[in-house]
Amino acid sequence: MYQAPSSENHDPCGNVSPLVSKSSLTRALGLASAMILLAACSEPAPDTVHEAMTDAAPDYLYDTEIRWTSNGIPHVKADDWGSLGYGFAYATANDAICTIARDVLMVNGELSANFGRDGGNYESDVFHRAVLDDAMIERFRQGQSEQTIDFSAGYVAGYNRYLSENASNLPPACAGADWVRQLTERDVDKLTVGVGIRYGLGLFQREMANAAPPGTEVAVVATDFDQLTGIGSNAVALGGEVTENGSGILLGNPHYPWQGSSRFHMIHTTIPGELDVMGVSLYTTSRVSIGFNHDVAWTHTVSTGMRSTLYALELDPEDPTRYRYGDEYRDMEEITIDVPVDGGTETHTVYSTHYGPVVVSAQLPWTESMAFAIRDVNLYNDKSAATYDALNKAESIDDVEAALSMQGVSWVNTIAADRHGTAFYADISVVPNVDAELFERCRVPAKGVPSRLVILNGADPSCEWYASDQSEVPGAMPADNMPRLRRDDYVHNANDSYWLSTPREPLEGYSPIIGSERSMVSLRTRAGLTFIEEALQQKQAAGEKMGPQDLQDMLFSHRHYGAEQHLDDVLALCESAEQPVTLDDSEVDVTPACEALAAWDRREDIDSRGAHVWREFWRDVSGTDNLFSVPFDVADPVNTPRDLALDRTEVRQAVLESLAHAQTFWQDQGVALDAELGTLQYEPRNDENIPIPGGDGGAGMWSVITSRFNPEAGAYTPILHGNSYMQVVSWDADGRVNPTGILSYSQSEDPRSPHFADQTRLYSQSMWLDLPFHEADILADPELRTLRLQE
């Protein structure tokens, strides 16, 4: 059975008592009785929330209080940063111990020894052992503040405390596993650096491990340039001009994986008088990364900025391990590492240049005359903790902008609102310091490599990234050169570039290394901008302004913008087309598909009927050449391209064939064309299949859920990624923050936990939680339980 967080060696109110042993406490109270008494312990009155924990004994290095409210949300309070880290780790490990433990193996290059070398484990081990070496981690640690060092030490102690108390009761995923071990501060540093390079050098692990000079036998790998497909987010910030009481409102809607270490975990952290912030961290990170405090709320979306560039190397004709740099040839560095594998150790050589490691794939070959190296701007970024500590304590958009300018936000946009009524967008992430002139002068084309990947001339020293004293990170573009926008109406981002954060004020004139301008945006971006403008117009017509419920409804209406744009054209073709349609030498009458689509509500809610027909239809037809009659128009980017070009025979035929494909696909599966989406898209949790609303962002869904059809289940299951932690944060007329949210996949990865599926069921019904941020709300929670930890 699932065991609640341990109260071993504590009295019922959470105070360590050397006179009460584990066995005597258990015999006297029983675990269940102990937890009832924990919940009944007295708490500070609401007006004393910021008072220090004055009963802490002076000889305790760590003293923290964790209070869990409904849905397993931990509220961690301490008087110092070390104790805060202690509680943070203990509370997170309670829900994610197996995932954290496995990622610790990953960043230490120990996957092959524990899980075998297949499935990318060996390449991951090579990558992490070569990149996160002792010198790198020591350099990172030297850049950390005393506050961060204290927090990290506390985090390690808190994690190890949890593991010691629960070693015999770990979740099924790691129960009895010898690879679940005590944590070190070096592990925490490696985890932090690893997250920072995730979307730069981290995308080339196989290519780095595969690099070897010509004539060496290596595996043939193809670089997947679409690794980020589907991973993204939506965000809206409303300014005081359009809101009911003149304060800001924020919607945060990251689309992140439903499994693994990129899952979010809800948490509330407090140091009385210094910090009071709530939101989410990733399972393997240690700060609130998306959230709110009393004055500001913020969220992130993955930005279009490049985190790395490749350099094309011109090799010495006499030696392919030497590369030209100006008028000289330089030797590549051969780095030999030992990789633990099942049964021993294997030696592997990685090749590196002054730019960074050499990478090899089918599209990036190492020949006698050419090779490619990669440079990652976040590799030496040690500003993450300081940046998020400042962001967590921000009191205004001015403070948010100042925090971001510390350059510890590695690869995301930030969208924020404050109680003063300012809406803010910024891509103050970390990109190479490359301007448009260098970009164009030094860029090198490569066959089979998409244009969005930047390859520069590595033989020309003038093609090095610019150095700037104004940058906090070596090689990075100074924060002052990055795009940002303040508005009193709205800003929005759905993973397109900064350019169209609002059509009312496009941002232009920035380096192409950050993103594109005056170019077509996604259907999802167009959906969000359309929904916002529609809502504003409707409110204005009614003499009203926007409230938090409007943003909640905007997301959980689950409207299919793509269908709103194109379904009428398809239905018109259904009316006029001759039947049957020829598909793969068979004749198909598509009338049933047309009827199902005509009756569909053009949403992807769990009770929507026919949505699955459109999903398979659009996946098939969307790649058709010249599909639209009205092309993209830079003067009308939200409404173009549009209108299916049904006057073109080839487009008309493609639409009909795709209808036939969708119809026969589902008929072959034995699935009714008017089936409810919730019977076909669900998340399995223990013996329960929970219906999940949402759909493909690429097809025009703003409420995003990404899943693949599973032939064995005959359904879209399990969920891969999409709507994850969603928050709508506003302020009332008195300036009191009013937070709501939901974590779609729930807090815990442990199938025995009561918080393994509780929020997932709520999300299934498109429900929101009133988040218990204020002290009175925490105290009033019917499931409140408290644990005092001291060491």
β partners of residue 586: 583
| 753 included as an active-site residue | no
CB atoms within 10 A of CB 686: 9
> What is residue 19's DSSP assignment?
T
β partners of residue 103: none
Catalytic residue among 124, 152, 233, 707: 233
**Spatial separation of the C-alpha atoms in residues 341 and 348, rounded to whole Å:** 12
Which residues lie below 8 Å from residue 32, measured CB to CB, with a gap of 6+?
none
Q: Give the tokens for residue 87.
A: 């509680």
**Spatial separation of the C-alpha atoms in residues 165 and 651, rounded to whole Å:** 64
Q: How far is CA 18 from the centre of its chain?
A: 43
Q: How far is CA 372 from the centre of its chain?
A: 29
β partners of residue 753: none
Cα 688-691-692 angle, rounded to 5 deg: 130
**Spatial separation of the C-alpha atoms in residues 753 and 695, rounded to whole Å:** 28
Identity at 23, one-letter amino acid code: S
- Measured over the CA atoms of residue 468, residue 473, residue 478 and residue 480, the dihedral's sign is negative
**Spatial separation of the C-alpha atoms in residues 111 and 788, rounded to whole Å:** 35
Cα 277-280-281 angle, rounded to 5 deg: 110
β partners of residue 223: none
**Spatial separation of the C-alpha atoms in residues 663 and 653, rounded to whole Å:** 15
DSSP secondary structure letters along 126-168: HHHHHHS-HHHHHHHHHTS-HHHHHHHHHHHHHHHHHHHHHGG
Burial of 584: CB neighbours in 10 Å, binned 0-12, 13-18, 19+: exposed
Counting Cα atoms < 13 Å in the Cβ hemisphere of 142 gives 7
**Spatial separation of the C-alpha atoms in residues 729 and 739, rounded to whole Å:** 4
**Spatial separation of the C-alpha atoms in residues 183 and 166, rounded to whole Å:** 14
Q: Which residues of 506-516 are buried (b: 16+ CB within 10 A; e: fewer)?
A: ebeebbbbbbb
Smallest CA-to-CA distance from 468 within 490, 501, 438 is with 438
**Spatial separation of the C-alpha atoms in residues 773 and 299, rounded to whole Å:** 17
Phi, psi of 491 (to 5 degrees): -135, 160
**Spatial separation of the C-alpha atoms in residues 60 and 56, rounded to whole Å:** 8
**Spatial separation of the C-alpha atoms in residues 374 and 432, rounded to whole Å:** 12
Q: How far is CA 252 from the centre of its chain?
A: 12
**Spatial separation of the C-alpha atoms in residues 182 and 705, rounded to whole Å:** 36
Catalytic residues: 233
